[in-house]
């Protein structure tokens, strides 16, 4: 696929290698006459990006896991997605989530090839460092995503020895998730050491990994590891770099014009307007099913009344985040009043609606079966880094009013004093609703999932749209390893307890 984009989701393409980069992935080069020169190094590096151009990587597939939270419902009946939301093991083996593990290990394999072979190539040293930084970044990021999705204190995920000659022999899972997190730390630290700052890139390189993106994910990883001192340290690395700032208006974050502004850290992005589609698929997945007859929205991941009602009075983020019946919006150049005949909850996420506001469909894919847009979909942004620092400080017994009030004040809310974890949790929910920040994982790591999911979810009318669910932390704090990985390894890769 030509001109690939970064962590793209077909959704897909992430802001890591965007289709602006004129990339032609080279498969998985490992031997023969490859790895001889600078062009080989570039081709090998670009091969890391190809898996991101799958709608399930950061799009509909993985989003079924995020959809488990109390912030959203599936919007329309989809048996596999419904079973995932209900923590029903019958979804194991389904098409949407079965490939998550494999796709990430493909990226890891290609990153390992780069790290093994590129140092020996005679080439421009600055470019060599950047390419190695990309590989360490993707290795660390993929292991991080695998770790918190499938790993816990009982078992981590397999760590591939990049110097091994064993080949494709199955690898047992790491003893626990902290072993994987420690590995992630080493990879992302190497990435930060090798990578330049984003503002040194020419626009043709936008979407490649950069230094503060590595620090941001280090900070989030340490938050998940509950190493709060290091979470604060790496959040400060991002903050003190002086490379980022909050935009003045929250709603402006979710506009095409601001794809690469100061709040950007790492996103899903593409601007290659090919007939097959381009950019992030999530806005189209969240759009009204059949798009009111104008475009092929898929009608999934609809906000709940619980999310809408959780916003504090006067919070500007609520209306910027959620469309409710009667709200005015612009749809392909026409003024409309929001109403849905398909949404299970009656609401829709507004955050990603801007690409659908332009006449002549200039910012959406011409392929209605692949409803992508050229809006950056944030995977981590500066506001989340500020909230990571706030949480890390609170968990160390420190005052986090400065950070929390930065987020509150932009939302039009007054400052608070002596903010606690209740306030922090509210701000994460209000700020990051409907984003890859992943409220389900937040509820899990806070120990709040069981109580939250024991309550039914409601729609705009007040009617129950999703019944209460039985969440067992000893089982459901992690998702099941794809059944294909367990069976194809002859049991060397074990299943998470309770998901057998």
Using CB atoms within 10 Å of the CB of residue 435, give its burial: 0 to 12 exposed, 13 to 18 middle, 19+ buried.
buried
Domain boundaries, the chain: 38-272+379-489
The closest alpha carbon to 346, from 370, 324, 327, belongs to 324
Which residue's structure tokens are 């009602």? 309
In whole angstroms, give the CA distance from residue 303 to residue 458.
9
CB 350 within 8 Å of CB 322:
yes
Spatial neighbors of 252 by CB under 8 A, at least 6 apart, are 258
pLDDT tens, residue order, the chain (500 aa): 233 333 333 333 444 333 334 444 445 555 568 999 999 999 999 999 888 878 889 988 999 999 999 999 988 888 888 999 999 999 998 888 999 999 999 999 999 999 999 999 999 999 999 999 999 999 999 999 999 999 999 999 999 999 876 567 899 999 999 999 999 999 999 999 999 999 999 999 999 999 999 999 999 999 999 999 999 999 999 999 999 999 999 999 999 999 999 999 999 876 555 666 667 889 999 999 999 999 999 999 999 999 999 999 999 999 999 999 999 999 999 999 999 988 999 999 999 999 999 999 989 988 878 888 999 999 999 999 999 999 999 999 999 999 999 999 999 999 999 999 999 999 999 999 999 999 999 999 999 999 999 999 999 999 999 999 999 999 999 999 999 999 999 999 999 999 98
DSSP string, 308-340: HHHSPTT-HHHHHHEE-TT-EEEETTEEEE---
1-41 tens-digit pLDDT? 233 333 333 333 444 333 334 444 445 555 568 999 999 99
CB 384 within 8 Å of CB 341:
no
184-223 tens-digit pLDDT? 999 999 999 999 999 999 999 999 999 999 999 999 999 9
The closest alpha carbon to 471, from 454, 456, 488, belongs to 454
The closest alpha carbon to 215, from 50, 388, 66, belongs to 388
In whole angstroms, give the CA distance from residue 395 to residue 380.
21
CATH code of the domain made up of 38-272+379-489: 1.25.40.390
Residue 242: half-sphere exposure toward Cβ, Cα within 13 Å? 0
CB 44 within 8 Å of CB 406:
no
């Amino acid at each position: 696929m030509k001109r690939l984009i970064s962590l793209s989701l077909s959704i897909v393409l992430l802001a890591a290698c965007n289709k602006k980069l004129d990339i032609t992935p080279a498969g998985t080069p490992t031997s023969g006459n490859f790895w001889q020169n600078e062009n080989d190094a570039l081709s090998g590096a670009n091969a890391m990006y190809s898996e991101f151009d799958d709608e399930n990587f950061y799009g509909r597939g993985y989003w079924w896991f995020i959809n488990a939270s109390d912030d959203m419902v599936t919007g329309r009946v989809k048996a596999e997605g419904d079973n995932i939301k209900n923590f029903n093991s019958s979804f194991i083996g389904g098409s949407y989530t079965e490939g998550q593990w494999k796709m990430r290990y493909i990226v890891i394999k290609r990153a390992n090839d780069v790290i093994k072979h590129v140092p020996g190539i005679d080439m421009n040293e600055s470019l060599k460092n950047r390419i190695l930084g990309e590989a360490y970044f993707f290795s660390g990021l993929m292991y991080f995503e695998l770790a918190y999705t499938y790993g816990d204190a009982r078992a981590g995920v397999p760590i591939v020895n990049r110097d091994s000659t064993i080949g494709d022999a199955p690898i047992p899972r790491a003893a626990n998730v902290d072993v994987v997190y420690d590995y992630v730390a080493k990879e992302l630290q190497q990435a930060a050491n090798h990578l330049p700052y984003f503002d040194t890139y020419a626009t043709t390189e936008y979407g490649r990994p950069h230094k503060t993106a590595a620090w941001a994910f280090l900070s989030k990883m340490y938050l998940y590891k509950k190493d709060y001192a290091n979470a604060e340290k790496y959040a400060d690395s991002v903050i003190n770099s002086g490379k980022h700032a909050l935009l003045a208006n929250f709603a402006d974050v979710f506009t095409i014009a601001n794809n690469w502004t100061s709040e950007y850290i790492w996103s899903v992005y593409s601007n290659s307007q090919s007939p097959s589609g381009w950019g992030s698929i999530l806005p189209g997945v969240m759009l009204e099913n059949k798009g009111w007859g104008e475009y092929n929205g898929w009608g999934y991941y609809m906000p709940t009344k619980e999310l809408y009602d959780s916003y504090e009075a006067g919070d500007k983020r609520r209306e910027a985040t959620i469309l409710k019946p009667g709200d005015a919006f612009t749809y392909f150049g026409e003024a409309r009043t929001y109403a849905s005949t398909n949404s299970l909850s009656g609401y829709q996420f507004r955050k990603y609606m801007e690409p659908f506001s332009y006449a002549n469909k200039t910012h959406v894919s011409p392929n209605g079966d692949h409803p992508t847009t050229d809006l950056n979909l944030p995977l981590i942004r500066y506001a989340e880094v500020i909230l990571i620092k706030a949480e890390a400080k609170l968990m160390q017994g420190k005052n986090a009013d400065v950070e929390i009030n930065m987020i509150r004040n932009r939302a039009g809310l007054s400052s608070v004093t002596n903010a606690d974890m209740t306030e922090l949790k509210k701000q994460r929910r209000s700020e990051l609703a409907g984003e890859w920040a992943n409220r389900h994982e937040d509820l899990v790591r806070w120990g709040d999932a069981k109580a939250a999911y024991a309550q039914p979810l409601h729609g705009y009318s007040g009617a129950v749209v999703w019944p209460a669910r039985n969440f067992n932390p000893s089982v459901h704090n992690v998702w099941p390893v794809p059944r294909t990985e367990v069976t194809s390894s002859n049991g060397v890769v074990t299943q998470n307890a309770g998901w057998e």
